[in-house]
Amino acid sequence: MLSPHFRATMQAVAHPLSTRRTGSRPGSARAPVTDFTGAGDDDVRFPPVTARASGKAGPVKLKLPFRAPLCPDNLFGHLVATAVPGVEEWRDGAYRRTLRLPHGPGIVSLRPQADHVACELRLTDPRDRSLAVGHCRRLLDLDADPAVIDDLLRRDPLLAPHVDRHPGRRVPRTVDGPEFAVRAVLGQQVSTAAARTLAGRLVIAHGEPIDDPVGGLTHVFPSAEALAALDPAALAMPRTRRRTLIELVTALADGKIDLDADGDWARTRQQLGALPGFGPWTVEVIAMRALGDPDAFLPTDLGVRLAARELGLPGTPAALARHAEPWRPWRAYAVQYLWATGNHPINRLPEG
């Protein structure tokens, strides 16, 4: 039986514009690309192509537009600082990663520019081009309207200076909801470096090998179905973490939990919270980055709490959550501004 995630993927291939022109959730500051580029239908389906296209014959090069401003520092910094070896890398000024697509794996390179993100796709099959472009836009949160979001957040006098200093922060999201959920479990109560190591080991042992002709990418992250089929003893991790991971991937593979961005966010939160080992932080970080909820909030996150203390915001999770009520429906973006106050690699655009 196909999982809801895979069915949604196939529907997106059949109707690549279905999620791009039907508007957004109430209160959303997202809009179709055509709302601010003046592009026609062809440009929405395939953003402007600047070089030859098609599959393994050569890379597809495109420009991905966005609403200005866009602060690339935390966006690309977060993706690179948490990159899984073999699946993601920063090379020659671009974030690169592998993609799981319906007709075979792909590789994308994303390079921030002043008025667009330069995108280079290497696909097994050109039929996956629209879907791959959609994944990239979602990953970089390129359909957000920073003017609307920042205008609300700067009403808080304690946040305003940080919004004004680097406006246009986006929420780094994901190209694959189940992948991010697995990585969230691996990252529970460990450092960023330890989480990368755990995920890298999982990829080497169970991921899908891929050829990268121009870089160091080696695998596609293992699917929930592949992980659910494993003997739990094959997972090199503590017993409680292993149980949490197996429960998650089994629910994903069986279609009991749907991490599609267009799903029922409240229901998904409830289902995730019922899994063993899932606390509020894990549920909300998945809601933020996998479901794409712009109002997801992490008052228990250590980085958020340290930032709150530095800015003079309430120090306890409950008090901070109360203070953050006026930040709705953009609390996920407030988290980016709070995280940005710290001296951590996630806040810096990588060099080289």
Inform me whether the pLDDT recorded for 162 exceeds 60. yes
pTM over 0.75: yes
**What average pLDDT does the segment 266-272 reach?**
98
Write phi, then psi, for 303 (nearest 5 degrees): -65, -40
Inform me whether the pLDDT recorded for 13 exceeds 50. no
User: Which pair of structure tokens corresponds to residue 222?
Assistant: 């293992």
CA-based max dimension of the chain? 56
Instruction: Report which residue type is found at 123.
Output: L
Instruction: Name the CATH superfamily housing domain 17-144.
Output: DNA-3-methyladenine glycosylase AlkA, N-terminal domain (3.30.310.20)
Cβ within 8 Å of residue 103, ≥6 positions away: 123, 124, 125, 127, 128
Confidence of residue 350 (pLDDT cuts 50, 70, 90): confident
Inform me whether the pLDDT recorded for 41 exceeds 80. no
What percent of the chain shows pLDDT beyond 90? 76
What is the pLDDT at residue 237?
Answer: 85
Taking CB atoms within 8 Å and a gap of at least 24, the contacts of 254-260 are: 254/3, 254/228, 255/1, 255/2, 255/3, 255/4, 258/4, 258/5, 258/8, 259/5, 259/177, 259/178, 259/180, 259/181, 259/286, 259/290, 259/291, 260/4, 260/5, 260/8, 260/177
From 150, 293, 295, 301, active-site residue: 301
pLDDT tens readout for residues 164-184? 999 999 999 999 999 999 999
Q: Is 145 a catalytic residue?
A: no
Burial class (CB in 10 A: 0-12, 13-18, 19+), 226: middle
Strand partners, 97: 88, 108
